[in-house]
Structure 1
Amino acid sequence: MKLQVAIDLLSTADALALLNKVAEHVDVIELGTPLIKQQGLSVVTNVKAAYPDKLVFADMKTMDAGELEADLAFKAGADIMTVLATAADSTIAGAVKAGKAHGKAVVADMIGVADKAARLHELKAMGVSWVELHAGLDEQAQAGYSIEKLLEVGRSADMPFSVAGGINAERIGGVESAGATIAVAGAAIYGAKDPGAAAAGLRKKIKQLG
């Protein structure tokens, strides 16, 4: 299982400062939607230039103009971009078309999808690279939130999936056991007193489990 760091900081400088501490421990660098909205796609270009050997993930959360937005992300240097699974099928198909043209990955973010099992089947047919089972910050803040609901969907998914939603050292074992190909950690890394040690700790957990 790969480790992805989700960076929800709001400046390119802060993102690069964080990556200086954690990049050696992660496989995928995700530039969060708020960061891209604040800094523009130049942050993707700058991070890819600084870390050419890492997979750079542009969390576009595209809802319309799928081919255009995916093309923009890939031209900026992204290896991976996200389209919302709740978007129209034509939007997702457009993003997938751009992904194939660039030889890059398009991920369908399942945030907000009510019937996840049914949508998974449709997304697989549309040719997305994988799905991200994602509980957003607002959902995580609700009483009774449990990552187990995402893992239940993952266990029955007939396609590759990543998991994002409050992953930390205590939860990452369950994510790997559920069969995820990527675990996405955000605040557990960038919000830690020592982000480098936090990322190393998550990496060590994966190695122990593997």
Structure 2
Amino acid sequence: MELQVALDVVDLPSALTLANQVAEFVDILELGTPLVKSVGIGAVSAVKAAHPDKLVFVDLKTADAGELEAGLAFEAGADLVTVMGAADDDTVRGAVAAGRKYGKSVVADMITVTEGRVARIREVAKLGVSFVEIHAGLDEQARPGYTIATLLEDGRQAGVPFSIAGGVKIDTIGSVREAGAKVAVAGGAIYNATDPAAAAKELKKHATA
């Protein structure tokens, strides 16, 4: 299982600093949506230039104009781009078309999809995305009773390639791996750590155990 770090900061120097700290221990560097909105698409080029050997994942959360938006990110150096799993099928198809044009990958982000999530995961998987990210956002995670177990069970049931984002940390990453995820996405467990590099190293050890 690969480890992805979410660079959930809002300025480029902080993103580059965090990327430099953890790149040795992660497979994928993710530019969070707030970073792209704050800095612009140029942040993609900057991170890719600093770490050309890493996959750069751009969390656009595209909800419309899929081919246009994905194309902008791929032009800037992205390796993977997200489109909303809740978006219109043609939006997903458009992003996938851009991915094919550039030889890159599109990921369907299932954030906001709670009812009928397994069925929708299977639907979008058929539209040509590389994999599906089963994702609970920060607001959902803050609600009483939230558990990552729901995401893991949906991944098991869906039967398609998936990643997990939403509460991945040292005491849950083993369960993520055992559920069959191809990627574990860690955010706060790394960037909120006293030593982000050490946190990333420990998570990577459990991701590949």
State the TM-score, normalizing by the size of structure 1.
0.98
What is the aligned partner in structure 2 of residue 139 from structure 1? 140
Deviations 1:69-105 (A, max 9, x none): 0000000100000000010111111001111111100
Deviations 1:14-62 (A, max 9, x none): 0111111100000000000000000001110000001001000000000
What is the aligned partner in structure 1 of residue 34 from structure 2? 34
Tell me the matched-pair count.
208
What is the aligned partner in structure 1 of residue 163 from structure 2? 162
Secondary structure at the aligned position of 1:180 is classed as coil
- How far apart are residue 205 of structure 1 and its match? 1.3
CA distance in 2: counterparts of 1:20 and 1:102, whole angstroms = 27
What is the aligned partner in structure 1 of residue 20 from structure 2? 20
CA distance in 2: counterparts of 1:126 and 1:205, whole angstroms = 32
1:191 aligns with 2:192: yes
What is the aligned partner in structure 1 of residue 174 from structure 2? 173
Q: Which amino acid aligns with 2:83?
A: V
1:71 aligns with 2:71: yes
CA distance in 1: counterparts of 2:181 and 2:71, whole angstroms = 27
- How far apart are residue 156 of structure 1 and its match? 1.6
Q: Residues 103-122 of structure 1: matches in 2 within 5 Å?
A: 103-113=103-113, 114-122=115-123
Deviations 1:81-132 (A, max 9, x none): 0000010111111001111111100000001112111112211221111000
Q: Which amino acid aligns with 2:192?
A: G
Secondary structure at the aligned position of 1:156 is classed as helix
What is the aligned partner in structure 2 of residue 10 from structure 1? 10
Further displaced range: 73-82 or 154-163: 154-163
| Structure 2 portions without partners, runs of 5+ | none
CA contact (8 A) 2:7 2:19 kept: no
